[in-house]
Amino acid sequence: MALIQPLFGQQLVIQVGDGAQPEQFSAPSLINTTRGLSFSTAVESDELIDLADQGAPAQMVRRVKSTDIKIDGAGMVHKPDVLKYMQWVKGGTIKNVKVTDGTWVLTGPVVLTSFQITGERLKSSECQMTFEQAGEMTLTPSA
């Protein structure tokens, strides 16, 4: 039997750099329930016509124009960290992040493009944040 090797949500670790030299990375306490990593491409497409039979369906071809990476995180609000993230998104600062599952590491610059806090009466508030690629990101196997 060959069982699937699952990746548990808490094993997907998102860390934000402090900008110091040498840079130190730590996991935001606000990302404590949900994490997400999305890779996407923008493509240019053409329909290549069969010159021998112009009535036949054309062949669709696509070329990648660019790639993009988006990182999402959410969790219960840790109140002492809220101001720091509101200031980050308002200031438009670029920071480095590391994302890993223990077998690979994705590293590079991001901007914090979204920060939301929601709450209901008598319940703990939650937050959601989105980081988007702001330059070249590298993907390497873990050592």
pLDDT tens across the length of the chain (143 residues): 999 999 998 999 999 999 999 999 999 999 999 999 999 999 999 999 999 999 999 999 999 999 999 999 999 999 999 999 999 999 999 999 999 999 999 999 999 999 999 999 999 999 999 999 999 999 999 87
Instruction: Flag whether 4 is in a domain.
Output: no
Q: Is the pTM of this model over 0.75?
A: yes
Residue 131 lies inside a defined structural domain of this protein: yes
Domain extent, residue 64, equals 10-141
The answer to whether residue 75 is domain-embedded is yes
Give the whole-angstrom CA distance, residue 88 versus residue 30. Answer: 14
Compute CA distances 113 → 49, 92, 95, 110, whole Å: 41, 8, 12, 9
Could you tell me the CATH number of the domain that includes residue 102? 2.40.30
Residue 3, in any domain of the structure:
no
Residues making up the chain, counted from first to last: 143
Has residue 5 been placed in a domain? no
Beta bridge partners of 35: 73
Domain count, the chain: 1
